[in-house]
Chain A
Amino acid sequence: MESKVNLAVKIAGVRFKNPVLTASGTFGYGIEFAQFFDISRLGGFCTKGLSLLPMAGNRPGRIVETPAGMLNAIGLENVGVDCFIVEKLPLLEHYDTQVVANILGKSVEEFAELARRLDLHAKISSLELNISCPNIKEGGIHFGHDPKMAFQAVTAVKRNTTKPVWVKLSPNVTDVTVIAKVCEEAGADALTLVNTFVGMSIDVYKRRPMLSNVTGGLSGPAIRPLAVRMVYQVAKAVRIPVVGIGGIMCARDALEFMVAGATAVQVGTANFTDPLAAVKVIEGLEQFCREQGISDISTLVGSIRANG
């Protein structure tokens, strides 16, 4: 008889049945994917970034495909935290998966208020602070690049919630470990790395930017080696768990992040190319463990060996 593989991981006391989550902004409010598969199979998912008030997002011309990836400048369009709580959250009640609420504030006070409103809802297992969205001027970018503001945002959120607090970091910095350590110091329970890289694409006939916002966030397999490197650096620099994200298309990609030091991973852009991508990653991880004689996937976390 085949021995059972334990795929479960824990982040700040919260148990995920497997280390595969789906990324904020690529999975709607969860329910959209229930038409394709049983979302209870996921370790968890991160909601579309929630703001205090609904946001309309950027003008059309929001995405463009690039080699092995895509640029997006959606502009944080979302229904707002209250609508999420009233209309979306009840639909998730009977799904057995961890809901991570991704929140975005324009100020420390907004981050704090978002945390307070979401804290009352048991279905939400953790909060993920988006301090790194590159697409709107006032949206998070100061927090993601300014250690002092990141510290304040994390502290304020921690004061207003009993739930574990993850911080999703921007890769658009010189040394990602600096802000990672600051967030850890401020009490963050986990770090998500990475958000999208700022990029640009130009229509050479019209000589105009392809995106109405001029620049956008690059995601997809194109960024994976960069993301793996950052996860590796940060996992060595902090003691809190790291959640790896960046261009994961298959189980092998997810394993790269885990070996580099990620306790769990998020599948993002792949959800667009194949709505079943995350499920296939889970199945692939189980198969890999079985083939490699690994009984507990958490033993892979940070298991990278030195060259030599």
Chain B
Amino acid sequence: MPYAVQAELVQNRRLPQENYLLTFRAPEICGETLAGQFVMAAPKTHQTVPSPLLKRALAVYSIRGEYLSILVKAIGEGTLRLALMQPGHSANLIGPLGNGFDLTAGRGKTNFLIVGGVGIASVYLLAQKLKQQGDDVHLLYGARTAADLVMLEDFQSLDIPLFIATDDGSAGFKGFITAGLGDYMKACSSNLNFYTCGPEPMLKAVSIFACTQGIPCQVSVEARMACGFGVCLGCSVSTRDGNRLACSDGPVFEAGELIWDRP
């Protein structure tokens, strides 16, 4: 069940390339958050008309006791306003929202977390949980440049194998993560399970690859949304089951369910 709360910012960690890791004290939300769920967030304001008007949907990056962290890349007005928050300020948060990843699918499997850019924000909790249930986890992380590879150290400290790709070759494999995926796979067991989150072209490529190879694959999608809890119907996603909502039916869908024919 989601809560609408005011949560105090306790830390704002500035990271490279306009990324910020914001940590809030939000005990109610922390108590119920599953890997892959998200919150709607906006700084608290005394204006009757906040600017921008709508909250932003952001994956819960990590939970530590009563503290919840979100990774924000300041790319627009909404994310910039969050990024500029100072400790002591409060945000209005609604969460936890969405379905989250299905962890049972990863049981006894070699799990590939295939992420691009800020998609990394959706999979840290997942990596932790999969490790906790004793399963094999690999992170395949693509970004524009080496500097964009934020939060790597968190995954390193989970002691999981990494495969890195950058568009400019400044770290790891030069090219898209999906181009290196086939070769990386060869070194691993055939008992694979994919989780993926990132830019839509990457999700599409990973989904199609997984479906052709017969590898189970859960995809966390992104869509513009106004409310986050299933009433605005703005975040519609085309699936074989008809239109579904990224916020309340998703954000995680099976790769085979999604239809990728958007112009």
Interface string of A18-31 (1 = CB under 8 A from B): 00000001111000
Question: Which residues 34-64 in A have Cβ within 8 Å of B in the complex?
Answer: 35-36, 56-64
Contact between A57 and B233 (Cβ–Cβ < 8 Å)?
Answer: yes
Segment with Cβ contacts to B, from A138-146, A156-164, A267-275: A267-275
Chain A neighbourhood of B231, CB < 8 A: 26-28, 32-33, 271-272
Contact between B48 and A269 (Cβ–Cβ < 8 Å)?
Answer: no
Chain B neighbourhood of A26, CB < 8 A: 231-232
* Residue A250 CB within 8 A of the other chain: yes
* Residue A184 CB within 8 A of the other chain: no
Question: Which residues 30-56 in B have Cβ within 8 Å of A in the complex?
Answer: 42, 48-55
Distance (whole angstroms) from the CB of A113 to the closest CB of chain B: 24
A26 to B238, CA, bound (A): 21
Most B CB contacts (10 A, CB to CB) among A32, A63, A69, A70 go to A63
Question: Which residues 212-263 in B have Cβ within 8 Å of A in the complex?
Answer: 223-227, 229-238, 242-243, 262-263
| Contact residues of B: prevailing secondary structure | loop
Distance (whole angstroms) from the CB of B73 to the closest CB of chain A: 17
* Residue B2 CB within 8 A of the other chain: yes
How many B residues touch A, CB cutoff 8 Å? 34
Chain A neighbourhood of B75, CB < 8 A: none
Tell whether A220 pairs with B243 under 8 Å between CB atoms, given A59-B238, A272-B227.
no
Which of under 10, 10 to 19, 20 to 34, or 35 or more describes the interface residues of A? 35 or more
Interface string of B13-37 (1 = CB under 8 A from A): 0000000000000000000000000
Contact between B49 and A249 (Cβ–Cβ < 8 Å)?
Answer: yes
A249 to B48, CA, bound (A): 6
* Residue A286 CB within 8 A of the other chain: no
Distance (whole angstroms) from the CB of B220 to the closest CB of chain A: 16
* Residue B94 CB within 8 A of the other chain: yes
Contact between B48 and A250 (Cβ–Cβ < 8 Å)?
Answer: yes
Chain A neighbourhood of B1, CB < 8 A: 35
Interface residues of A (CB under 8 A from B): 25-28, 32-33, 35-36, 56-65, 67-70, 72, 74, 77, 208, 220-221, 249-250, 252-253, 269, 271-276
